[in-house]
Structure 1
Amino acid sequence: MQTVTEGTLLWEPSEEFRERANLTRYMRWLREERGLSFEDYHELWRWSVESLEDFWGSLWEYCGVLHDGSYERVLAERTMPGARWFEGTRLNYAEHIFRKGSPQRSALVHASELRPLGQESWGELESRVASLAAGLRELGVGRGDRVVAYLPNIPEAIEAFLACASIGAIWSSCSPDFGVGSVVDRFRQIEPKVLLAVDGYRYGGRDYDRMEVVARIEREIPSLEKTVLLPYLGERPDVARLGNAMGWEELLASGEGAPLTFERVPFDHPLWVLYSSGTTGLPKAIVQGHGGILLEHLKQIELQMDLGEDDRFFWFTTTGWMMWNIVVAGLLSGAAALLYDGNPGYPDMYALWRFAGETGMTHFGTSAAYITACMKAGIEPGRELELPRLRAIGSTGSPLPPEGFAWAYEHVRRDHWLFSTSGGTDLCTAFVGGCPLLPVRAGELQCRALGAKVEAFDEEGNPLVDEVGELVITEPMPSMPLYLWGDESGERYRESYFSMYPGVWRHGDWIKIKKSGSCVIYGRSDSTINRGGVRMGTAEIYSAVESVPEVLDSLVVDVQRPDGTAYMPLFVVLREGVDLTAEIETEIKRRIREYCSPRHVPDEILAVPEIPKTLNGKRLEVPVKRILSGTPPEKAASRDALANPRSLDVFVELARREES
């Protein structure tokens, strides 16, 4: 594979690619309808963040938002937190989903380890959403009631969400691989009326029965009035094992034949509740509204991701990650949403790439970790499979190293648009990411998203260019949380995002904004390694460490000891059958010294069976750092929020060793 470094040019859009882009059409519309002309994307971005009302007002009109009522001002109060948008209007997120798809065309294309490849037309989707909405009304669900889902990434989850949204109910979901404590910690906060759940799921060829978990969720959330059970692992819903439960088909039948209607609600009416990762303390229950999410997703899907009616859009995700919500948003463009439930590496690392070929996928979205895993496995999808329609690959979840960019262009497809994105659950979007009009350079995110005034700040709040700083957002965005559930005073909201720079959203990532307008993310700012006054994001260290062929995964922390000295251990997961030899340690240190700095060579390298990760696959840097600093493990991390809870044991033992 070719050697590339950060900033290496890998792709440029052709004139044809640029001309057909939705963003080009939008810029043409601005010129013809508003008399606004922009030289390039970066000039357009500056206008979008300096003239917020003009930008978001233009998007409202350009996208033809369906609504009742009228607004006097786009942004009634330009403050954070507390910005008020499009006051006086009423709309419904779900209503916009069904504007473009013709009844016979595919809306959902899906497969899983339990189900073969299948399709659902727009007409079928509309019928099922209508039946579910009527069935939920029969259960007494109405505007403002909460419906929670313990469902995998299958069509029924999208149908149920759209049904909830259509009647003004509030949705929240967790993936069935979440443990009972993690689910209860999330759902109990919002006092749901109805639980939608599966009996189990299959992952990596193994079946996982979840009936006892569902029963415990019922018992531990007293507000629940009804459980609706979907037989996914079994053939029939075993409702007798639960409390007040009914089968999925029974719910559908109770609303069969009902027309699909939409309850238009105020712009800031809650649409769903998402959650922070919950690695420490009770997860934040993040409430986002119909209008703000609609506008943000229309912008993200159509302009930044360039989706249209002929596309087939995929992102590998579960219902417990905000990227599932982005997959749903893909339907706003009229594109078909592609769903896959199962282990992406089973039966081999080609599983998702085969799915891409079989479905005619145009946009392949995944995590940086998955791309790196494909690279490490040495697979070559472009050579082994037919991927004729693939034109874009999206990456998120963590920084994608330059080597990952290079692998995608060399071993998947040379002529495609690879966009790396960064954002978060907190706004349910990417505020740094892709643009179909800009070149792709290794290790870089192409641009800041329209309407997102992202800046890099130093500790005093001064903006930086070409230097690493705190990622902040200095102007409000419509999809910012309305509030955190149960946080009546707003204190937790302000403390979470606005305590470091009052009136400015601090996101918790390190970012470098280059003079060219492109960006580089360096990992979480609260897990940054500071050695000898030189700060470095952990992503840079991981890029160096994991370039060593024997290393599959890694985690690094910088621990301040009580005597004032620092201890920087590096933990590595090695390939099966490989031991940590002096030669491997020397090579790891050499690459860190060369690729990062001599200051960031670890004090000790330790082999561990696995790296602790959240259910969404993110490394638990901060909890591990706290454990090694002496924090009791039960206070450092909630094991229910981990994908691999036992992985913490080795760090607890190490902390005991340090104490002795």
Structure 2
Amino acid sequence: MLAPDWKPPADDPARPYRIEELARLASTPAYAGRQLSASGVEEYDELWRWSVDDLDAFWRCVAEFLGHDLPGPALAEERMPGAVWFPEARVNYAKALLEGRPADEVAVVGLSEDPGAGRELTWGRLRDEVAGFAARLRELGVGKGDRVVGYLPNTPEAVVALLGTVSLGAIWSVCGMDYAASAALARFEQLEPKVLVFASSYVHGGKQHQRAGVVAELQAALPTLERSIDVGDFEWADAVGSDPVPELDYAEVEFDHPLWVLFSSGTTGKPKGIVHGHGGAMLEQAKVAALHFDLGPGERLFWYTTPSWMMWNFVVAGLLTGASIVTYDGSPAHPSPDQLWAITAEHGVTATGMSPAYVAACQKAAVGPKNHDLTRLRRVGISGSTFPAVSHRALAADLPPAVQIASISGGTDVVSAFVGPAPTVPVWAGELSRPCLGVAVDAYDESGAPVRGEVGELVITRPLPSMPVMFWNDPDGARYHDAYFDTFPGVWRHGDWITLTDHGSVAIHGRSDATLNRKGIRMGSADIYEPVEALPEIREALVIGIERPDGDYWMPLFVVLADGVEFDEALQARINDAIRTHASPRHVPDVVIAAPGVPHTRTGKKLEVPVKKVLLGQDLSGALDPGSVDAPELLEWYAEIGTLHRP
């Protein structure tokens, strides 16, 4: 068995971990009726097996562990899609998050590139501001099922607006302020919102970006709007600073009542509105935060994100555990490349999160965690894309030995993680430690048979509470079904290639809809990116596989060069040698092409599928939302390359 790169420290002062406390609770006769533990690999695997074999008992146990009194069965009807969870329960996400907290302890630390713009909210102050904003919405006629949308940066005001909205049973949706008007409208106009909450500017890279013009476009193009509220004006201040503080009267809603609408990246076609329910998001997100990241009172969570990305919702969900959170309006690399590490150190963060690209950028700039006091840090979360083993080991070398690198993989679809860390389980570089509790992860071949030790489709074979309640404007559920269940009936196909290893971990190989299938051999793009992007001359890479009409297969590799680097035959040889050595000879591309850049979604994912389409000569003008792409002009460059190389 492959030796792990990190093991849980025997003398960790955080023990017993919360996952161990859950295991003890699960050993009572009310649940498993057997002794369960989570204090090692075999023990975790036993706990996981119970969690997916007896979904009803597991989720009742999780609810009790988190302090929620939810009557009746957990899983009343098992089917996918359409599972029925806790039909007798009445819940409210905001109530679960806010009630029973110590009023004078810090809940939210709001930071900005502008030091004078930061502020802290205690639990008491957070609750009062939510109560004030909810009362203002109620005065405006907002109630159960109405939609409130936000065009906001990552600030405490966004957290207050979310919680105030959902406390009423209204439905929330938000876009970060880097989104153009067209991208925000592609989302908001579907929802027919009653209220828009907005800011007039945001901070990034040392600059104040004015967005009043975008806000005006949104207001003009959303005919259902009855009111717009600027978080920087007197109306907001008057609402959240009400004296006396209004009563916070929570709407007790059904477990699956719509909580928020998150949108797919929208890179091909209109963005899909993914609707999650109050109860499912509440239980699933708190499970990952409390059990897999060991968050609770006294802990602090910071994950670099924008409100457009599901990780923002995950950070807010850290509050469900009683932990405090950090919001940050600014660039991760300003005023210095290691800004996220500086924030982590200065504010006593115990679990911090970032992207592989940010880690790589710090490593190439020779800065990072070693330059900061991280005595309180226990976990570094990694999300957004695959994390190469070489980057993992380089990061680990700069961290205190007890700190766990905690990669996760899930998605907007479930607003949580399928696979990730556990504080009691080792970590293997370049891999994710285990399937998360309650998540029936498997890998299937094309025929739907489980595979081990080889690449297969990531599937979920039993329901999760946070699977979407529905897609917005999908009355017969056809789009929802086609998104996940059209390949393996009754089984969720997520669209990622994975390998379930012989030591129980999970390796992620990239999106299956961007699969490289060279002469009948399927390969994951991540296996190529890892060795190439480790080269100091390469900033980023993009590999595409194209089937040609004559049956041939063309696999170009595009590379973005580091500053001052010239592309020549010697560099091309080093790139091919790295791929041949660290992947295999069949992974070596047909051609290496220096590119001006790689286009991404706003959440940082490479646009492999759209680039493939433009290389093939397809016109994406009617199907691609340019506002959802960080550099849409790059697609024109790739279209030209396609013209030059088509047979």
> What is the CA distance between 1:101 and its match in structure 2?
2.9
Matched, 1:434 2:421: yes
In 2: Cα distance, 1:368 partner to 1:499 partner: 32
Query: Where does residue 81 of structure 1 map in the other structure?
Result: 81
> What is the CA distance between 1:264 and its match in structure 2?
0.8
Query: Where does residue 498 of structure 1 map in the other structure?
Result: 485
Q: Which deviates further from its counterpart, 442-451 or 339-348? A: 339-348
Query: Where does residue 467 of structure 1 map in the other structure?
Result: 454
Matched, 1:395 2:382: yes
8 Å Cα contact 1:101-1:107 kept in structure 2: no
* RMSD between aligned residues: 1.7
Provide, for residues 123-172 of structure 1, a one-character-per-residue CA deviation record: whole Å limited to 9, x for no partner.
11111111000011111111110000011110000011111111111000
SS at match of 1:19: coil
Question: What residue ranges of structure 2 are gaps of 5+ in the alignment?
Answer: 38-42
> What is the CA distance between 1:100 and its match in structure 2?
4.7
Query: Where does residue 340 of structure 2 map in the other structure?
Result: 352
> What is the CA distance between 1:118 and its match in structure 2?
3.0
In 2: Cα distance, 1:249 partner to 1:647 partner: 42
Matched, 1:280 2:268: yes
Say which of 617, 622, 635 aligns to 2:604. Answer: 617
Say which of 26, 29, 34 aligns to 1:30. Answer: 26
SS at match of 2:259: strand
Q: How does 1:237-248 map to 2 (within 5 A)?
A: 237=233, 247-248=235-236
Query: Where does residue 457 of structure 1 map in the other structure?
Result: 444
Matched, 1:56 2:53: no
Provide, for residues 253-306 of structure 1, a one-character-per-residue CA deviation record: whole Å limited to 9, x for no partner.
678620222111011110000011100000110011011111112211111111
Say which of 310, 314, 328 aligns to 2:302. Answer: 314
In 2: Cα distance, 1:363 partner to 1:195 partner: 32
8 Å Cα contact 2:385-2:605 kept in structure 1: yes
Query: Where does residue 240 of structure 1 map in the other structure?
Result: none
8 Å Cα contact 1:427-1:480 kept in structure 2: yes
8 Å Cα contact 1:301-1:307 kept in structure 2: yes
Residue type matched to 2:179 in 1? F
Question: What residue ranges of structure 1 are gaps of 5+ in the alignment?
Answer: 1-5, 232-236, 238-245
Query: Where does residue 257 of structure 1 map in the other structure?
Result: 245
SS at match of 2:456: strand
8 Å Cα contact 2:154-2:306 kept in structure 1: yes
Query: Where does residue 641 of structure 2 map in the other structure?
Result: 654
Matched, 1:326 2:314: yes
- For residues 65 and 565 of structure 1, do their structure 2 counterparts lie closer, same or farther at Cα, with a shift above 3 Å needed? same
Q: How does 1:87-98 map to 2 (within 5 A)?
A: 87-98=87-98
Matched, 1:638 2:625: yes
> What is the CA distance between 1:630 and its match in structure 2?
1.6
> What is the CA distance between 1:506 and its match in structure 2?
0.4
SS at match of 2:237: helix
8 Å Cα contact 2:310-2:411 kept in structure 1: yes
- For residues 168 and 561 of structure 1, do their structure 2 counterparts lie closer, same or farther at Cα, with a shift above 3 Å needed? same
Query: Where does residue 411 of structure 2 map in the other structure?
Result: 424
SS at match of 1:463: coil
> What is the CA distance between 1:7 and its match in structure 2?
5.1
Query: Where does residue 545 of structure 2 map in the other structure?
Result: 558
In 2: Cα distance, 1:452 partner to 1:332 partner: 20
8 Å Cα contact 2:131-2:248 kept in structure 1: yes
> What is the CA distance between 1:115 and its match in structure 2?
4.3
In 1: Cα distance, 2:67 partner to 2:34 partner: 19
Identity, in percent, stands at 45
> What is the CA distance between 1:209 and its match in structure 2?
1.2
8 Å Cα contact 2:109-2:121 kept in structure 1: yes
8 Å Cα contact 1:91-1:267 kept in structure 2: yes
Matched, 1:626 2:613: yes
In 1: Cα distance, 2:285 partner to 2:468 partner: 14
SS at match of 1:464: coil
8 Å Cα contact 1:380-1:412 kept in structure 2: no
8 Å Cα contact 2:26-2:36 kept in structure 1: no
Residue type matched to 1:470 in 2? E
Residue type matched to 2:363 in 1? M
Query: Where does residue 9 of structure 1 map in the other structure?
Result: 4
Say which of 529, 544, 569 aligns to 2:516. Answer: 529
Matched, 1:20 2:8: no
> What is the CA distance between 1:636 and its match in structure 2?
5.7
Residue type matched to 1:22 in 2? R
Query: Where does residue 171 of structure 1 map in the other structure?
Result: 172
Provide, for residues 550-571 of structure 1, a one-character-per-residue CA deviation record: whole Å limited to 9, x for no partner.
0011111001122222111111
Query: Where does residue 243 of structure 1 map in the other structure?
Result: none
> What is the CA distance between 1:370 and its match in structure 2?
1.4
Q: How does 1:111-260 map to 2 (within 5 A)?
A: 111-116=111-116, 117-231=118-232, 237=233, 247-252=235-240, 257-260=245-248
* TM-score, normalised by the number of residues in structure 2: 0.96
- For residues 334 and 529 of structure 1, do their structure 2 counterparts lie closer, same or farther at Cα, with a shift above 3 Å needed? same
Matched, 1:386 2:378: no
Provide, for residues 587-616 of structure 1, a one-character-per-residue CA deviation record: whole Å limited to 9, x for no partner.
001111111121221111111221100111
> What is the CA distance between 1:8 and its match in structure 2?
5.0
Q: Which deviates further from its counterpart, 340-349 or 445-454? A: 340-349
In 1: Cα distance, 2:467 partner to 2:11 partner: 35
Query: Where does residue 408 of structure 1 map in the other structure?
Result: 395
In 2: Cα distance, 1:482 partner to 1:11 partner: 38
Residue type matched to 1:26 in 2? L
Residue type matched to 1:179 in 2? A
8 Å Cα contact 1:166-1:263 kept in structure 2: yes
SS at match of 1:136: helix
Query: Where does residue 47 of structure 1 map in the other structure?
Result: 50
Q: Which deviates further from its counterpart, 162-171 or 345-354? A: 345-354
Say which of 282, 287, 290 aligns to 1:299. Answer: 287
8 Å Cα contact 1:102-1:122 kept in structure 2: yes
8 Å Cα contact 1:560-1:629 kept in structure 2: no
SS at match of 2:79: coil
SS at match of 1:393: strand
8 Å Cα contact 1:395-1:419 kept in structure 2: yes
Residue type matched to 1:105 in 2? E
8 Å Cα contact 2:106-2:324 kept in structure 1: yes
In 1: Cα distance, 2:433 partner to 2:369 partner: 25
SS at match of 2:135: helix
In 2: Cα distance, 1:83 partner to 1:148 partner: 28
Query: How many positions carry a matched residue from both structures?
Result: 638
Provide, for residues 338-375 of structure 1, a one-character-per-residue CA deviation record: whole Å limited to 9, x for no partner.
11121101122111111111101110111122112222
In 2: Cα distance, 1:547 partner to 1:400 partner: 11
> What is the CA distance between 1:218 and its match in structure 2?
1.1
In 2: Cα distance, 1:310 partner to 1:122 partner: 13
In 1: Cα distance, 2:244 partner to 2:344 partner: 34
> What is the CA distance between 1:404 and its match in structure 2?
1.9
SS at match of 2:359: helix
Q: Which deviates further from its counterpart, 528-537 or 358-367? A: 528-537
Residue type matched to 1:355 in 2? I
In 2: Cα distance, 1:483 partner to 1:192 partner: 18
8 Å Cα contact 1:161-1:171 kept in structure 2: yes
> What is the CA distance between 1:412 and its match in structure 2?
2.6
